[in-house]
Amino acid sequence: MHNHRTTITQFIIEEQRHIPGATGDFTSLLNDVVTACKVISNLVNHGALVGVLGAAGTENVQGEDQKKLDVISNEVFLKTNEWAGHLAAMASEEMEEVYQIPSQYPRGKYLMTFDPLDGSSNIDVNVSVGTIFSILRCKGNCVNPTAEDFLQRGTEQVCAGYALYGPSTMMVLTTGRGVNGFTLDQNIGEFVLTHPNMTIPADTKEFAINASNMRFWETPVKRYVDECLAGKEGPRGKDFNMRWIASMVAEVHRILTRGGVFMYPLDSKMKEKGTEGKLRLMYEANPMAFIVEQAGGAAITGQHRILDIQPSHLHQRVPVILGSKNEVELIAKYHQEMQ
């Protein structure tokens, strides 16, 4: 007898049965998201063979150089999700304005934000990248939603997830009932449940930060990292390991798998530029914070829980410190002591 494997479609339908009054709309939306990620995975996988590597020669709203794959993945995500009638609008890292559903299609009751390709500086060097998405309910104007309609706290997310295009392609999801991971079986073209109930160990000996910014860090982050680096002989009494992939999806995935802390903190260079962080709240920090909390970890800016932030604009940036609960709490304590 062959072993039954749970596909992501089966999993989502079974999840839906726990939600009273569910119409199947959300299930169907997630199916489209899954399809979009499969298409992006295929493009990322074929890389130079299909001519998708290199720069697009354009800049996005954040003033960052776009890669060809940033632009293509954005297009794939929009086209795969716009037609089915589940969404009222979308917002993306690669688009300044809210994306309205084209007039030939019906509008739905959900809003979606996404980072079509996260870690895109890794594309040309063949290192893991990913896609991040967050689904909100449309509460106000669902005909032509504006940026205002998206500005909901992270606690309001209905679902968050990411696809990781690594040695294998994976999809990790939460709808607020824990975190589950699926691996793409290329032979049957389906994501299969391989990592049920992912949890982050509360303690860790591993941290991730771009240490080239060290001279700009604030005291609490400097203190935390110094203490980790002091190892066994230092105040922590144990040796720490360090990683930096420069791809938040890959970083969060490692933490979900074996614990750790990821930091992109506020620093003096950002303050000078008038920005409040590197990562974007609506399509990087919030979805990842939702996933991390659902897996038993914690996610803060330093001073505040990320999911509690009232967003003020669509492309808002925030400092991010997330991962193993006890470590994040220690870093929060160092921030409180600074005040």
Q: Which residues form the interface with Mn ion (CB under 5 A)?
A: 93, 115, 117-118
Applying CB under 6 A, among 34, 172, 248, 309 the residue interacting with ligand AHG is: 248
Contact of residue 220 among Mn ion, ligand AHG, none (CB under 5-8 Å per partner type): none
Tokens of 226: 């110094």
CB of 64 to ligand AHG, least distance (A): 6
How far, in Å, CA of 80 to CA of 76, rounded?
6
Q: Indicate the helix (H) or strand (E) that contains 332.
A: helix 325-338
What stretches of 77-138 adopt beta strand conformation (E)? Answer: 87-92, 99-100, 110-118, 129-137
Q: How far is the CB of 313 from ligand AHG (least distance, A)?
A: 17
Q: Write out the binding residues for ligand AHG, residues 45-84 only, by CB under 6 A.
A: 64
- Which of ligand AHG, Mn ion, none sits in contact with 149, Cβ below 5 to 8 A by type? none
Is residue 267 within the footprint of ligand AHG (CB under 6 A)? no
Q: How far apart are CA 271 and CA 266, in angstroms?
A: 8
Joined tokens for residue 195 = 């990592």
57: left (phi over 0), alpha (psi -120 to 50) or beta: left
Q: Which is nearer to Mn ion, 93 or 293 (CB)?
A: 93
Tell which residue, 288, 261, 259, 287, has the closest CA to residue 200: 259
121 binds, among Mn ion, ligand AHG, none (CB under 5 to 8 A by kind): ligand AHG
What lies within 8 Å, CB to CB, of 61 at 6+ separation is 93, 94, 95, 96, 315
Under rule CB under 6 A, how many of the chain's residues touch ligand AHG?
Answer: 13
**Minimum gap (Å) between residue 268 Cβ and ligand AHG:** 15
CB 32 within 8 A of CB 80: yes
Q: Which of 246, 296, 305, 316 binds ligand AHG (CB under 6 A)?
A: 246
Position among 32, 82, 115, 190 found at the interface with ligand AHG (CB under 6 A)? 115
Place of tokens 């839906």: 16
Question: Which range binds ligand AHG by CB under 6 A, 42-50, 106-114, 115-123, 159-167?
Answer: 115-123
What's the CA gap between 330 and 223, in Å, rounded?
A: 11
* Among ligand AHG, Mn ion, none, residue 206 binds (CB under 5-8 Å by kind): none
Nearest residue by C-beta to ligand AHG? 248
| Alpha helix segments (H runs only) across the chain | 8-16, 25-46, 68-81, 147-150, 219-229, 248-258, 268-273, 286-294, 325-338
- In the complex, the smallest distance separating the C-beta of residue 249 from ligand AHG, rounded to whole angstroms, is 7
Q: Partners of 171 in the beta sheet?
A: 163, 182
In the complex, minimum distance from the CB of residue 2 to Mn ion, in angstroms, rounded to a whole number: 39
Nearer to ligand AHG, 138 or 279 (CB): 279
Q: State the minimum distance, in angstroms, from the CB of residue 218 to ligand AHG.
A: 16
Half-sphere exposure of residue 30, counting CA atoms within 13 Å on the CB side?
A: 25
Q: Which does 210 bind (CB under 5 to 8 A by kind): Mn ion, ligand AHG, none?
A: ligand AHG
- Between the alpha carbon of residue 155 and those of residues 158, 160, 285, 307, the distances in Å are 9, 11, 12, 5
What is the smallest separation between the CB atom of 141 and ligand AHG, expressed in angstroms?
A: 28
Q: Match 């709490």 to its residue by tokens.
A: 329
Q: Which of Mn ion, ligand AHG, none does residue 67 bind to, with CB < 5 to 8 Å depending on kind?
A: none
Contact residues: ligand AHG, CB under 6 A: 64, 93, 115, 118-121, 210, 246-248, 264, 278
